[in-house]
């Protein structure tokens, strides 16, 4: 995981419509960058829906929400349509951002070891530096925790 105060690694990835989105596109705005394992899985769907439900609160604070996973552009498009997700979803099949942000980790499940995305969130400030690191977040409460944190910043 990256440290608070360090420059957030730049990336350019495709969104659900195939458009290239770069982190630098959002300089001057706060960015909530959340990494999740897989579209249409129970935890990831709950997390995405929680962000969708809180989206007006983020918009009111001029905060950009970006979700990143290894899923394809087509998968993101279906995921966004199915749950009516109003925020940006980025496809990172080559793990460019996933590895740069240190969220590609060894996981153990029932004694089996594999690698995957650790559900984590970064808040990036208006100058492109990491303001807050939230490793191993809970899908149901992540969006509300971030909004509460941002309200304390006001």
Question: Is 18 inside any structural domain?
Answer: no
* pLDDT > 90: percent of the chain: 94
Question: Is 10 inside any structural domain?
Answer: no
Question: Is 66 inside any structural domain?
Answer: yes
Question: Is 146 inside any structural domain?
Answer: yes
Catalytic residue among 13, 44, 90, 124: 44
Task: Tell me how many domains the chain contains.
Answer: 1
What is the reported pLDDT for 56?
A: 97
Question: Is 13 inside any structural domain?
Answer: no
Q: How many CA atoms lie within 13 A of 97 on its CB side?
A: 27
Question: Is 15 inside any structural domain?
Answer: no
Question: Is 126 inside any structural domain?
Answer: yes
The answer to whether 107 and 115 are in contact (CB under 8 A) is yes
Question: Is 93 inside any structural domain?
Answer: yes
Per-residue pLDDT tens over the stretch 18-66: 999 999 999 999 999 999 999 999 999 999 999 999 999 999 999 999 9
Domain of 59, in residue numbers: 26-153
Question: What does the block give as tokens for 104?
Answer: 């590609």
Q: Does the annotation count 49 as an active-site position? A: no
Task: Place 153 in a pLDDT band, splitting at 50, 70 and 90.
Answer: low
What is the reported pLDDT for 4?
A: 96
Q: CATH number of the domain that 139 lies in?
A: 3.40.30.10
What DSSP letter does each residue of the chain carry, written as one string? -PPTTSBPPP-EEEETTS-EEEGGGGTTSEEEEEE-S-TTSHHHHHHHHHHHHHHHHHHHTTEEEEEEES--HHHHHHHHHHHT--SEEEE-TT-HHHHHTT-EEEEEETTEEEEEE--EEEEE-TTSBEEEEE-S--TTTHHHHHHHHHHHH-
């Amino acid at each position: 995981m990256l440290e608070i105060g360090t420059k957030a690694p730049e990336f350019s990835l495709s969104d659900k419509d195939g458009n290239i989105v770069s982190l630098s596109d959002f300089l001057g705005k706060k960015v909530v960058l959340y990494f999740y394992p897989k579209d249409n899985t129970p935890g990831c769907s709950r997390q995405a829906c929680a962000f969708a439900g809180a989206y007006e609160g983020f918009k009111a604070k001029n905060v950009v929400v970006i979700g990143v996973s290894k899923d394809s552009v087509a998968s993101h498009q279906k995921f966004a349509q199915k749950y009516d997700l109003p925020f940006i979803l980025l496809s990172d099949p080559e793990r460019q951002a996933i590895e740069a942000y240190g969220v590609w980790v060894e996981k153990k499940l029932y004694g089996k070891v594999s690698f995957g995305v650790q559900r984590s969130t970064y808040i990036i400030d208006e100058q492109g530096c990491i303001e807050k690191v939230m490793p191993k977040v809970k899908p149901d409460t992540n969006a509300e925790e971030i909004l509460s944190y941002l309200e304390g910043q006001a």
